[in-house]
Chains A and B, each alone.
Chain A
Amino acid sequence: MGVTHVSDTALSTPREAPPGPARPRPPGRHSAWTRRRDRRGFWFIAPFLLAFTLFTIVPLLYAVYESLFTTRIIGGTVFSGFGNYSTVLTSGPFWGGFGRVVVFGAIQIPVMLIIAFFFATVFDLGVARFGRVFRTIFFIPFAVPVVVAALMWGFLLEPTYGPITHLANAFGFTGTNFLSSGLLLPAIILIAIWEWTGYNSIILYTALKSVPRTMVEAAILDGAPLRKIVLRIKLPMVRPAIVMLIFLNSIGALQLFVEPEILSYQGGSITNTWTPVVDVYNTSIANAQYNLGAAMAVVLALVIIVISVGSMVFRRRRGELS
């Protein structure tokens, strides 16, 4: 597609006259002159489009291509059609990992968004002392790379020396091991809440700031209590922002990788298939089964796309989207 456009634009010298696209445009708005000039807009997106094609589209297509082959020690690489896909789709561990990230998201995202909305409201209303200071502090974790965040929490939760483990022991929970298979998921939920609450809170804060002041003032004059102002006026107004955050956080949750991987270096008990991306990594890099790994990655992409498009269609049907 890009190629047609390049030649298209190259040909659009002043000599080339009106006939242009077959579809008629609204009269007056798009003269031949405007159209020719508008075509030049393509050159602004061309550099991005080139990088995007080379480093997103091509790799993605290549992943699909690779996923259709199988490499055997004897016999080399052979076309296997959907063979890898049936392996992935019937793989219990892959879907087990998938279930784990769904549980992770189903707990982490609501808890985080409730806390984030609470503090966003507090900052927006100005009902806490030193609001600006707290706003800055809460945003700090966003500047901490996830690798370092996982490492710091790994030290704090370490089963023998970790201060939080000591604390748990002091409260009578002796022998607590936060990095054991039973407690690792809650531990990672805690880390993710630490990492992202401030960022989500700042986004909600900005959204709240754009709620018209007059609406709130009218409610105050009507004698509405603060709880009602927040839940009945502010919350519905920032609903689109919340929906977008749920969406972005869900896509991130399904790709959980860094926290379990780093914690596994520190003694966290994760399996090779703990999350889908951990599975992709171990299958393709550690076990060198690239084709199978590619099929997994494509399945993960398809699941995310189906969920997103599905929820969009659902919301549009309910009239929430135009």
Chain B
Amino acid sequence: MTAGVAAVETRRERRRRERQAEQDATIPVHLYGLRRGTITLITAACVLFAIFTLVPVAWIVINSTKSQTGIFTSFSFWFARPFEFFHNFSLLFQNVDGNGTYLQWFGNTVLYAAVGGGGATVLAGLAGYGFARYRFRGSRVYFYIIVGALLVPVAAITLPLYLVYAKAHLINSPWGMILPSLVSPVGVYLMRTYIDLSVPRELIDAARIDGAGEVRIFFKVALPLMVPGLMTVLLISVVAVWNNYFLPLIIFSKNTLYPLTVGIGVWSQVAERSGGNSDLYPLVVMGGLVTIVPMIALFLILQRYWRGGMLLGSIAN
């Protein structure tokens, strides 16, 4: 109990400290000599854009509580009877009309995102360290090729993967989704730049003089300093897998393997084709809501790593 309280306090303290630091870094607004209305006007612009941002989110929250008739006939931005939230939610655990079970898709997505995104982060961390702190024959060429891969459209890689999978029996195999997700050229690029900035060469050299091996140096010296960068790459990689639509759309024909994106897409297609007779629309809405809530939660939890994530901004400078 006490530990919990202490943790809460430190978090609050940290937040206060961060806010204070941000305030100290910002030039006091009154120095800009703004007219009195300007700040109000700018705040109003922020409010307008915030409304634009939140409209679809509000819509999906409100309409997750409605029946199919309610979604289409009642006022879109207020609740309507009957209150169907729990009924809609319970449908996520069933295989509705044989089109697949949401819960299963959710599990699949978590598996693909965790193994694919996590693996991508590990590989990018290792490779970034290799590129940033060693110079071996061909290292520059390898790096340029990897960065150059950012220019290759996803379709140009995904389509041939499908053809190869057809021969290697990887169609309808989770590995078909996970293995390509391990490759994150952006991750390698970010990690190399991050390590360049935050893992001092002198520290590594000092460890070498002390007789530590290269692997030991990586784990004991470099890795702890790499954590914020790794969290960023993890976030980016997990989001990339979570959002991936093209690859799973092509390689999976069994609906038990779908990730959420493909599953919900299929539901919406079936709902539209049936001309509203299938009662699938509440599922599409509820499914969409349950898809975005964990991601928004994850982002709010990892909020303090955005600064690391903003890494991208500082690199671009």
Residues of A within 8 A of B (CB): 1, 5, 8, 21, 37-45, 47-49, 51-52, 54-56, 58-60, 62-63, 66, 115, 118-119, 122, 125-132, 134, 136-149, 151-156, 160-163, 166, 194, 197-198, 202-207, 209-210, 213, 216-217, 220, 225-226, 229, 237-238, 240-241, 244-245, 251, 254-255, 257-258, 261-262, 265-267, 277, 280-281, 284-285, 290, 293-294, 297-298, 300-301, 304-305, 308
Contact = CB atoms under 8 A, between A and B. Distances in A.
A280 B46 contact: no
B245 A126 contact: no
Interface in B267-293: 268-269, 272, 284-285, 288, 291-292
B126 interface: yes
Interface string B231-257: 000000001001101100010000000
A60 B160 contact: yes
Given A1-B138, A143-B296, A210-B317, A280 B155 contact: yes
Contacts of B124: 48
A49 B131 CA distance: 12
Interface of B: 19, 25-27, 29, 31-34, 38-39, 42-43, 45-46, 49-50, 52-57, 59-60, 63, 71-73, 76-77, 122-124, 126-127, 129-131, 133-139, 141-142, 146, 148-164, 179-180, 182-183, 185, 188, 208, 214, 218, 239, 242-243, 245-246, 250, 260-261, 264-265, 268-269, 272, 284-285, 288, 291-292, 295-296, 298-300, 303, 306-307, 309-314, 316-317
Contacts of A149: 56
B43 A139 contact: no
Contacts of A51: 123, 179, 182-183
B32 A56 contact: no
A277 to B, nearest CB: 5
B316 A60 contact: no
Given A37-B214, A44-B127, A301-B152, A265 B269 contact: yes
B268 A262 contact: yes
A297 B159 contact: yes
Contact of A134 (B50, B160, B316): B50
A207 B314 contact: yes
A271 to B, nearest CB: 17
A285 B163 CA distance: 10
A153 B56 contact: yes
B317 A127 contact: no
A96 B19 CA distance: 51
Contacts of A63: 156-157, 159-160
Given A142-B299, A155-B71, 7 more contacts: A51-B123, A56-B183, A127-B29, A143-B292, A145-B292, A156-B56, A220-B31
A119 B46 contact: yes
Given A55-B161, A152-B60, A206 B313 contact: yes
A287 to B, nearest CB: 13
Contacts of B72: 160-161
A297 B31 CA distance: 54
B313 A203 contact: yes
Contacts of A161: 71-73, 76
B25 A48 contact: no
B136 A38 contact: yes
A235 B58 CA distance: 35
Given A37-B214, A51-B183, A280-B155, A5 B138 contact: yes
Contact of A152 (B56, B135, B180): B56
Given A262-B265, A265-B268, A240 B316 contact: yes
14 contacts: A55-B157, A118-B45, A126-B26, A126-B29, A138-B50, A143-B299, A145-B261, A194-B52, A202-B306, A206-B307, A207-B313, A254-B153, A261-B245, A265-B269
A44 B157 contact: no
Given A48-B127, A143-B295, A290 B163 contact: yes
A177 B134 CA distance: 58
Contacts of A166: 76
Contacts of A130: 43, 46
Contacts of B25: 209, 213
Contacts of B77: 163
A188 to B, nearest CB: 14
B295 to A, nearest CB: 4
B245 A125 contact: no
B201 to A, nearest CB: 12
B27 A220 contact: yes
Contacts of A213: 25, 27
A115 to B, nearest CB: 7
Contact of A127 (B39, B122, B307): B39
Nearest to B143: A45
Contact of A44 (B60, B71, B73, B126): B126
A298 B151 CA distance: 12
A204 B312 CA distance: 9
B157 to A, nearest CB: 5
B104 to A, nearest CB: 17
A134 to B, nearest CB: 5
Nearest to A53: B183
Nearest to A30: B135
Contacts of A305: 148, 151-152
A292 to B, nearest CB: 11
Contacts of B265: 147, 151, 261-262, 265
Nearest to A202: B310
B45 to A, nearest CB: 8
B151 A301 contact: yes
Contact of B149 (A52, A144, A285): A52
